[in-house]
């Protein structure tokens, strides 16, 4: 069924009002859903801009971040990087072009649910078969076992879900993924929480409040709505199963619980502008929510090692010096107008967009660590 609205209506007629996260799963990821039909991040013909679409500078900084995490793990080979919500492969391609020091050890797995976007990844990267995620393999001299060959990177593969393995020396990165993972909605009525469910009246989808047993690690005023981050909980649990030793790096727009009642935290987007009411235009618009910092900490099975704003994180990674190199290239080549000069000028503009505290620079960068004493991690190293 290619009509997500019809599918949701069938669910409701069969089971009764459904939770908002089930509605969101069908509207975004089900057959005919927003992401399933190729919508998402990008410029012309897409719906919103994330940091990788600003330009290649974000990928250069991410390459530097991966090098620092690689060194913190002892420079392992192979070095497994899993990008969750990899979209069309733009970030992975820019990391590759930046030529990080970890490149000979790098095994990079792009995880993307949308078949349309996975097809676009092949336009940007040479992708190997999925079973080569840790390959190629070499036979050990002393027995019949094979082990991943060292210095054989980079290897890029694509999957539609997180790898079903538990591994050491892993970094999972997720740029603007958590806000799109399905979430429920609860409302505090002064005595208890009611959960917002989606029902049908006539031809319209409507909200129905149903009492729910729910614990929150903070108090809110009556009438305040809060997200129930079920999708984030499931994703972090999957990361915990994947990572025996390593890091999870999540970048997203987040908010403290104290601000839930003061500004909108649930939004819709399409064609680079605001969308409609979340229960309208099903499959034609993105549905997203701020990640609540207290809920992220409360829910995670992985300890949080560092939290900082994107502007600060990029500054630590040397974005100003990279932009200055670009400015010098532009000054040297402006009269010729060659590609190197034009790319240099672009770097300056990209830096301001990525570090603008009124936009992308306000994103939070959260680093989870497991099995490595991550509380001592310093991005400056």
262 assigned to some structural domain: no
69 assigned to some structural domain: no
Please state, in angstroms and rounded to a whole number, the distance separating the CA atoms of residues 222 and 79.
49
Please state, in angstroms and rounded to a whole number, the distance separating the CA atoms of residues 325 and 345.
10
326 assigned to some structural domain: yes
339 assigned to some structural domain: yes
246-302: pLDDT as tens digits? 999 999 999 999 998 888 899 998 776 778 899 998 988 999 999 999 999 887 899
Q: What percent of the chain has pLDDT over 90?
A: 67
357 assigned to some structural domain: yes
Structure-model confidence comparison of residues 375 and 359, the more confident one:
359
29 assigned to some structural domain: no
Its pTM stands at: 0.90
312-370: pLDDT as tens digits? 999 999 999 998 887 776 666 655 555 555 566 678 889 999 999 999 999 999 999 99
- Residue 273 CB coordination number (10 Å): 10
Asked if pLDDT for residue 132 goes beyond 80, the answer is no
- Mean pLDDT, the chain, whole residue set: 88
Asked if pLDDT for residue 42 goes beyond 50, the answer is no
78 assigned to some structural domain: no
336 assigned to some structural domain: yes
Asked if pLDDT for residue 147 goes beyond 90, the answer is no
Structure-model confidence comparison of residues 284 and 171, the more confident one:
171
How many distinct structural domains can be found in the chain? 1
Residue-level length of the chain = 381
Segment 107-127 mean pLDDT: 93
pLDDT of res. 345: 66
**Containing domain of residue 346, as a range?**
322-367
Segment 102-126 mean pLDDT: 94
Segment 42-67 mean pLDDT: 82
Please state, in angstroms and rounded to a whole number, the distance separating the CA atoms of residues 146 and 138.
5
């Amino acid at each position: 069924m290619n009509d997500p609205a019809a599918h949701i209506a069938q669910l409701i007629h069969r089971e009764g009002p459904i939770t908002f996260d089930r509605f969101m799963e069908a509207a975004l990821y089900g057959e005919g859903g927003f992401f399933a039909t190729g919508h998402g991040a990008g410029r012309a013909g897409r719906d919103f801009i994330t940091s990788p679409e600003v330009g290649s500078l974000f990928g250069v900084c991410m390459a530097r971040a991966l090098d620092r995490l690689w060194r913190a793990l002892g420079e392992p080979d192979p070095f497994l990087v899993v990008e969750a919500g990899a979209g069309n492969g733009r970030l992975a391609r820019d990391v590759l072009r930046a030529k990080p020091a970890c490149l000979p050890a790098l095994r990079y797995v792009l995880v993307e649910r949308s078949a349309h976007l996975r097809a676009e990844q092949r336009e940007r990267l040479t992708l190997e078969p999925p079973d080569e995620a840790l390959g190629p393999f070499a036979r050990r001299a002393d027995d019949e076992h094979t082990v991943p060959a060292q210095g054989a990177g980079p290897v890029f593969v694509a999957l539609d879900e997180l790898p079903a393995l538990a591994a050491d020396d892993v970094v999972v990165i997720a740029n603007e993924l958590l806000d799109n993972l399905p979430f429920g909605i609860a409302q505090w009525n002064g005595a208890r929480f009611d959960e917002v469910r989606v029902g049908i009246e006539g031809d319209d989808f409507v909200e129905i409040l149903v009492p729910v047993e729910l614990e929150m690690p903070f108090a809110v005023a009556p009438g305040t709505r809060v997200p129930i981050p079920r999708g984030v909980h499931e994703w972090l649990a999957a990361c915990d199963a994947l990572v025996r030793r390593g890091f999870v790096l999540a970048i997203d727009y987040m908010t403290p619980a104290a601000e839930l009642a003061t500004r909108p935290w649930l939004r819709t987007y399409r064609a680079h502008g605001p969308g409609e009411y979340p229960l309208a235009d099903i499959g034609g618009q993105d549905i997203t929510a701020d990640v609540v910092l207290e809920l992220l900490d409360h829910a995670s099975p992985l300890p949080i090692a560092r939290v900082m704003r994107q502007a600060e994180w990029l500054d630590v990674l040397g974005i100003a010096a990279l932009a200055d190199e670009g400015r010098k290239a532009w000054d040297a080549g402006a009269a010729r107008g060659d590609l190197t000069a034009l790319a240099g000028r672009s770097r300056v503009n990209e830096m301001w967009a990525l570090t603008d505290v009124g936009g992308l620079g306000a994103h939070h960068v959260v680093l989870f660590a497991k099995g490595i004493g991550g509380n001592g991690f310093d991005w400056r190293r």
